[in-house]
Structure 1
Amino acid sequence: MKLLHVSDLHIGKRVHEFPMIEDQRHILAQIVDTIRERDVDALLIAGDIYDKSSPSAEAVALFDDFLCAVADLNVPCLAVAGNHDSQERIAYASRLLASRNVYLSPVFDGAIDHVTLHDEHGPVTFWLIPYLRFSEIKSCFDEFDGDYTDAMAKLIGQSGVNPEERNVALAHQFVTWQSVQPERSDSEIGNIGGVDNIDARAFDVFDYVALGHIHRPQRIGRDTVRYSGSPLKYSISEAPWPKSMPLVTLGKKGSVDFELVPFKPLHDLREIRGPLADLTSPDVVGAADAEDYLHVTLTDEEPWIDAMSRLREHYPNVMRLDYDNAATRSASQAAVSAPGELESMSSEDLFAEFFEMRTGIPLTQAQTDLVHAVLTECGAK
């Protein structure tokens, strides 16, 4: 049985106010193409289908189109709610959708929902574990005196998993292996002090564990416990990471193979750095796709007032602009005034402080005069 594992679609997400919906439409079409071209037997979506618990109409319509495309291939789709999702919204019409081989995790009621499919080696049972807080799991037991890992292990243990047969878990949690944490990006919601960690040993009974929540593709402990990672780069910290989806082949009990199928984004997300004149030269602009999403770091010693507009003449999708020069690397950026002091500061002083904090360089007298003239014309105090 061939399983395609994806997660963290975050449909409807905006990155630095850039809507990602068309990039997501492009990547979802690749998933459908992979299902068709590689004869996939089931699609697994391990949570964070949407970016928000109340997704936009456009995001819902896109996921609806995607589910219809998968269902039209007569390939089962199994999905769980992540921490960004609403369990209630994901579960809506789930019984009706099951008639089209679309299986969505129900609202958690103390039991793990499961679906059994069959191939030439017999049954494979898929266990749909939505994102669960420690308190939600612990409340299922009359008496419990353990940690998050113990709670998940107990929940799985009382769910009736038959270890003699093949079992696959879909889960959206922060899973670690002993003291080793997964490599993370800054686009994920962080955990605090390790209290949100579940050790991978809680999932030992499963032949494959399809994880979501962490955006970098990686194994956790053993090869068969894997984060697929997000299909798109949602922060600059993800720029160096190639994105892929595990294509898992389940043979008879104990036989699990996989390969990583690369994603090809509509726009890559990458970082460029250097002086403005160099970055806008034809050789540099033409060296890669100028329509990629960019984090630009200028190394000019003097800040450019119109740097962003100049950059966007060549790179229309600049998401962020920073400076790295002697001033910004000096002792520290200008200290931000305390909240009480801000209330008594003039608009000119506020702008001057912001400018110095952002660039590491104080306003020149000419710039100060220009700011004064503009604010006076606007009627600012």
Structure 2
Amino acid sequence: MKLLHCSDLHIGKRVNGFSMLPDQQKILGQIVRITQDEKPGAVLIAGDVYDKTIPSAEAVELFDWFLTRLAEQSVPVFFISGNHDSPERLDYAGRILQKQGVYVSGCYQGKVDCYSLCDEYGPVHIYLLPFIKPAMVNAYREQRSDSYHQAVKEVLAGLPVSPGERNVLIAHQFVVAGGAEPERSDSETLSLGGIDQVDASVFDGFDYVALGHLHGPQRIGRDTIRYSGSPLKYSFSECRQHKSICMVELGEKGTVKTKLIELTPARDMRKIKGKLRTLISPEVAGLADPEDYLHVTLTDEETVIDAIGKLRHVYPNVMQIEFENRRQQAQGAFSLSSEAAREADPFELFQDFYEAQNNQPMSESQQELVRRALAGNREEAR
């Protein structure tokens, strides 16, 4: 049996003021086509369906379109809530959706939903564990859990997992293996002190664990505990990631194969660096798609007037711009006592200030301009 694993859709997300909905429409369309081609036995969505607890109407409409296209293929869909979702909103009409082969677990209510599929090797049990916190678990148990690890461990320990049959878990937590820190990105929600960490050892009873929460595709401890990653890049810390979905193939008990199917976005997200004149030249702009989302680092030493406007004339989707030059590195390095300032020559004082702020001396033309300005001030003072 093949299972298609994806997560962290973040439908409705805005990145640096840019709506990702058009990009999400295209990437979800790719996942629909991959489902048509690969014909998996089920689609697993491991949380963070939406980017906000109260998604926009456009975001809800897009997810409705996605589910409808999958349901038209008669492929079961299983999805859970993530930390960005509203569990109650995801659960809405859940029992009605089951009649269309769509199974959702939004709110944790003291138990973990389980559904079974069958193939020539027997049943495959799919457990749906929505995003949980210790307080959510404590509401249904006498023994208090003070950590995310303990909470998840207690919840899973109570499941009737049959060791002789194949078991799959969908979860949305921050999972580590042996204390090793997995790859994280700036677009993920961080917690202080690692209090949200769950050790991968709690999943020992499962043949495959479909994780959501971290945006980079990666294995945790073993090949069969995986983050599929987000289908799109949502921060510039993800520039080097290759976005994909994971196709899982379950054979007889103990046989699991995984392969990553790369996704192609409508626009890539990348960084470029250099002087303005070089970056906007046709030779450089033509090296990649100028419609990509860009973080631009300008290295011009001179002041650039309307840098963002000039850049967007060539690259319309510039998201961020910063300057990297000697002036920025030396910003704020000039200091002088009031007594020394009164005794210093005005031209030398300005010359020292300019060099401290710009990390380079004034040119001869700039020196002449300052001398004329100071001379004019002295004439007016007389």
What TM-score, normalized to structure 2? 0.86
**How many angstroms does 1:302 deviate by?**
2.0
| 8 Å contact from structure 2 (residues 330, 358) kept in 1 | no
Match of 2:79, as an amino acid?
A
Structure 1 residues 183, 333: CA separation in 2 closer, same or farther (over 3 Å shift)? farther
Is 1:158–2:174 an aligned residue pair?
no
**How many angstroms does 1:145 deviate by?**
6.0
1:54-112 deviations in whole A, cap 9, x for unaligned? 00000000000000000000001100000000000111101100111100104211101
2:244 matched to which residue of 1? 244
2:8 matched to which residue of 1? 8
Distance 2:138 2:280 in 1: 57
1:110 matched to which residue of 2? 110
1:122 matched to which residue of 2? 122
Residue 313 of structure 1 aligns to a residue whose secondary structure is helix
Match of 2:233, as an amino acid?
K
5+ long unaligned stretches in structure 1: 335-359, 367-381
Match of 1:180, as an amino acid?
A
Is 1:173–2:173 an aligned residue pair?
yes
1:352 matched to which residue of 2? none
| 8 Å contact from structure 1 (residues 150, 202) kept in 2 | no
2:299 matched to which residue of 1? 299
Residue 211 of structure 1 aligns to a residue whose secondary structure is strand
Distance 2:53 2:148 in 1: 24
1:323 matched to which residue of 2? 323
Distance 1:146 1:161 in 2: 25
1:18 matched to which residue of 2? 18
Distance 2:107 2:267 in 1: 35
How many correspondences in the alignment?
339
- Give the alignment's Cα RMSD to 1 decimal: 1.8
**How many angstroms does 1:330 deviate by?**
2.9
Poorly superposed stretches of 4+, deviation over 3 Å:
144-147, 331-334
5+ long unaligned stretches in structure 2: 335-356, 360-365, 370-382
| 8 Å contact from structure 1 (residues 272, 294) kept in 2 | yes
Match of 1:220, as an amino acid?
I
Distance 1:106 1:286 in 2: 46
Distance 1:115 1:302 in 2: 64
Matched residues, percent identical? 50
Residue 182 of structure 1 aligns to a residue whose secondary structure is coil
2:262 matched to which residue of 1? 262
2:76 matched to which residue of 1? 76
Match of 1:79, as an amino acid?
F
Distance 1:136 1:168 in 2: 22
| 8 Å contact from structure 1 (residues 106, 113) kept in 2 | no
Distance 1:301 1:221 in 2: 47
Distance 1:106 1:129 in 2: 9
Distance 1:86 1:146 in 2: 23
Residue 202 of structure 1 aligns to a residue whose secondary structure is helix
| 8 Å contact from structure 2 (residues 105, 130) kept in 1 | yes
Structure 1 residues 145, 243: CA separation in 2 closer, same or farther (over 3 Å shift)? closer
**How many angstroms does 1:331 deviate by?**
6.6
**How many angstroms does 1:290 deviate by?**
0.6
Distance 2:152 2:108 in 1: 13
The higher radius of gyration belongs to 2
2:85 matched to which residue of 1? 85
What TM-score, normalized to structure 1? 0.86
**How many angstroms does 1:144 deviate by?**
3.8
1:132 matched to which residue of 2? 132
Distance 1:159 1:132 in 2: 16
1:196-240 deviations in whole A, cap 9, x for unaligned? 101011111110000000000000011100001100000000001
